[in-house]
Amino acid sequence: MSAIKHITTPLTEQVIKTLHTGDTVELTGAVYTARDLAHKRLVESLRQGEVLPFNLNGAVIYYVGPSPAKPGKVIGSCGPTTSYRMDAYTPTLLAAGLKGMIGKGNRSPEVIEVIKKHCAVYFAAVGGAAALLAQRVRSARVIAYSELGPEAVQELVVENLPLIVVNDCYGADLYQEGVRRYKKEG
């Protein structure tokens, strides 16, 4: 088992090139929440030449719609949502400078190729551990599309958010490797 890699945002290509499928990572810094509707708006804004609500260069988007914070808490539960729903928007965002994505589940072969092309990375956060993941969020503030409620874009500052590299910048896919390994052993 390899050591945990501690990385910070914004992500650089130099750091991304050190990450490999299966690596365990703890991420610290600003990440931006966005789900389907927010992705659609971000891509529409880019296509219209508008300024986005955050700088995409080196940014990490977390596919999450956090629940409301309880009194005295920074944020409510914030577990990952299924990533393939963002696949239609991902190539445009990666071309504009996005470097990292956090979610759960597979990405399409097309997205994996675009991750490789733009030297980016896709991380998985453990589904079902939303309350535990929320403990790693130090601050949260809505920065765009507040009318979307829990799907608004928020800037989260996280500390040691535990993640696993699923798709690295070399085109590897942890899920496919797991299937191959299982077939060999079975």
Q: Which CATH number fits domain 5-185: 3.20.130.10, 1.10.10.350, 2.40.50.140, 3.40.190.10?
A: 3.20.130.10
User: In Å, what is the CA distance from 150 to each residue of 75, 102, 136, 142, 154?
Assistant: 11, 17, 18, 9, 9
Q: Catalytic residue among 6, 20, 39, 118, which?
A: 39
0.85 exceeded by pTM: yes
pLDDT of residue 126: 85
The alpha carbon dihedral of 106, 14, 126, 158 has a sign of negative
Domain ranges of the chain: 5-185
- The DSSP code sequence of 132-163 is HHHTTEEEEEEEE-GGGGGGSEEEEEEEEEEE
| Residue-level pLDDT at 131 | 87
Say if residues 130 and 104 touch (Cβ distance below 8 Å): no
Secondary structure (DSSP) of 36-83: HHHHHHHHHHHHTTPPPSS--TT-EEE---PPPPPTT-S----PPPBG
Q: In a structure prediction context, what are the per-residue pLDDT tens digits for the chain, which is 186 residues long?
A: 579 999 999 999 999 999 999 999 999 999 999 999 999 999 999 999 999 999 999 999 999 999 989 999 999 999 999 999 999 999 999 999 999 999 999 999 999 999 999 999 999 998 778 888 999 999 999 999 999 998 999 999 999 999 999 999 999 999 888 667 766 665
pLDDT at 179: 67
20 is a catalytic site residue: no
Q: What is the pLDDT of residue 1?
A: 54
Please name the amino acid found at residue 122: Y
